[in-house]
Amino acid sequence: MDKVLTFKQGRVPLLISMPHAGLKLTPAVEAGLVDEARSLPDTDWHMPRLYECAAELGASTLAAEYSRFVIDLNRPEDDAPLYVGATTGLFPAILFSGVPLFREGQAPGAQERATYLELIWKPYHQTLQQELERLKNEFGYALLFDAHSIRSRVALLFDGRLPDFNVGTFSGLSCDPGLAHELEAICAQHPAYSHVLNGRFKGGHITRYYGRPVENIHAVQLELAQCTYMEEFEPFNYREDLAGPTQGVLKQLLGRMIEWGAEHKSPSP
């Protein structure tokens, strides 16, 4: 299997994870997809471009290369459900529209999927874990920002229109409450955008598993409504006129995380 992730090491104790940015398909997945899935509509589109400020800020970045239609990197290895109600699993079977992802009898088999787990899921999480450990060893703490986006209206997953900025901290368990409060306050400074803390999207597996405030690892998920930076339907074009202001808010959020970490760093023994 070719390149499964893109990792760039930074110089500050912040790692930005983009687990649903990938566009690659395996031959088995591509062969079985229904026509409605071939444009990869449930992708977190343009994440590396949207978060290009990471390099300027000095943050590390980790992005998936393979589509979530192959394997979902933000689900646990045992595929335990993360939310009550409709959701998608480690190996998605439906589109967000509710349409089956694969033609009947054409989904990859168990052995094929075991290969995806070993060669795609595990390397991503090993890289994520190793970078958080490196950051903590070097700085005494680590910050994780799990970056996502989704169409603003997905009837299968939530009612009505999603807020623009959906900050998730696993209901306060994945990061210091003070940090969450400050990020929410930044969102409130921009009334052109709606926001919520721990609404429909409280954080997936990455936020829940790696966020350990008692160990000085603070994790936050942001689920961004795609209408804030792109056209939500095919061909899913990036909109610079929309993205520019949104990037300004993202840069402020990420910058404040970095500042907060430095201000709350535990003194050396």
Could you tell me which of 256, 221, 226, 255 has the C-alpha nearest to residue 242? 226
**Residue 49 burial class via C-beta count within 10 angstroms: exposed 0-12, middle 13-18, buried 19 and up:** middle
* pLDDT the model gives residue 16: 98
Whether pLDDT at 133 is above 70: yes
**pLDDT tens by residue, 205-220:** 999 999 999 999 999 9
* Cα–Cα dist 269/110, whole Å: 50
Contact yes or no for 253/183 (Cβ under 8 A): yes
**pLDDT tens by residue, 50-109:** 999 999 999 999 999 999 999 999 999 987 766 655 567 899 999 999 999 999 999 999
Q: What's the rounded mean pLDDT across residues 151-160?
A: 93
Could you tell me which of 151, 162, 116, 117 has the C-alpha nearest to residue 42? 151
* Cα–Cα dist 64/72, whole Å: 10
* Cα–Cα dist 100/114, whole Å: 21
How many C-beta neighbours within 10 Å does residue 124 have?
24
* Cα–Cα dist 9/142, whole Å: 13
Contact yes or no for 127/57 (Cβ under 8 A): no
**pLDDT tens by residue, 231-255:** 999 999 999 999 999 999 999 999 9
CATH T-level assignment (fold) for domain 5-263:
Aminopeptidase (3.40.630)
Per the DSSP assignment, residues forming a β-bridge with 221 are 146, 168
One DSSP character per residue, the chain reads: ----EEEE--SSSEEEEETT---B--HHHHHHB-GGGTT-TTS-TTHHHHTTHHHHHT-EEEEE-B-TTT--TTS-TT----SSSS---SS--B-TTS-BSB-TT-S--HHHHHHHIIIIIHHHHHHHHHHHHHHHHHHS-EEEEEEEEE-S--TTTSSSPPPSEEEE-TTTTSS-HHHHHHHHHHHHT-TTS-EEESSS----HHHHHH-BGGGTEEEEEEEEEGGGTB-SSTT--B-HHHHHHHHHHHHHHHHHHHHHHHHTPPPP-
- Each domain of the chain, given as residue ranges in start order, spans 5-263
Percentage above 70 pLDDT, the chain = 96
The pair of structure tokens assigned to 51 is 């978060």
Greater confidence (155 vs 32) lies with 32
Look at the pTM and tell me if it is higher than 0.85.
Answer: yes
* Cα–Cα dist 38/33, whole Å: 6
Could you tell me which of 69, 73, 53 has the C-alpha nearest to residue 61? 53
